[in-house]
Structure 1
């Protein structure tokens, strides 16, 4: 039963009581998506809401129509597309699956009625939005004033703290991100980020595994980054 599953802290489904969670999922139709599928595009006004049940999606945008930047990642328990019905606006970003994704697809009007008609749902949505804003702001503060290597280390630790899971030899960061995508999230130069990744691998602090990154020594990486480990 989906309602009895646990979802990562900070996600919308994590904040919903199990019975209310089941009511939300009953409003939608379950769908599966392959890697690289676009769930919504920046500038469009599509209204389906995607409640992620499994997998990871990337949120990206092209400010002013320029170079595409990775803004965030969304995992199981998160909701994407919610701001369109809530604010009657266009999508501010594009959301693309990275790996297989299973989601419950709910219509915008049904989702809006659900949030409006349930005090626990309204509270959960408020907490979810605040958490997204807080994480984005804290990420910027965490990376300010550090060189590329330290920024990358802090970013990897931050991602692992929110999305990580135990891997074969260490802590899997939990999100498949390329070097350029890590650079975009860290606000760093791609070439310097690639150099920093090579250095962390040389020090045996991280290793690549099937398109993901495993942290081999959390304590040493946190010391390098001047970051309080979780």
Structure 2
């Protein structure tokens, strides 16, 4: 089997625990957009699959793997704000989201770099928010490539942004493993011809991810052991 020479990570639900980071974000965003109107807030929560009573996303939420624009389009169907204003509001709240690392990222990434691996991030969040989040936890410079859905390569589940990473690193797709927490991540990797590793720090469970991934790990901290088994 082809040697793994690079790892491309999803961001939310992979590098960062999804529930710990994004449930608080959504609660604040919905209150901001609802402007004190309980009916509007409830409608907005419904279209993005967020349970206001429990304060968390439902597993089938279209917002989990969607781009910020896709989420804004859903919200625009029930709110008076225009799509552009909604995207701006989502980005602003996302930049202030409480970041819960799936594992301590600095030592984890330093360990991967010590193996000689190229590292990248491809998220369906915006590029600016990705840079903000990675810089906030001190790991922006650990990555050779960082892209969002608005970086010009497209968004997952299309393979194009993943192939852009392989091309930028001068590698064949088969030399790259994509690590993600959603079907979007894994389907994109399959279409790109990359290896596929799923983690359970997002909203999807093992049964949902197992049919798309080579392996399903509890979190990214188990990746080095998996890489050792593949070498």
TM-score (norm 2): 0.35
Greater relative contact order, per chain length (Cα 8 Å cut-off, separation 6+): 2
Q: Normalising by structure 1, what TM-score?
A: 0.35
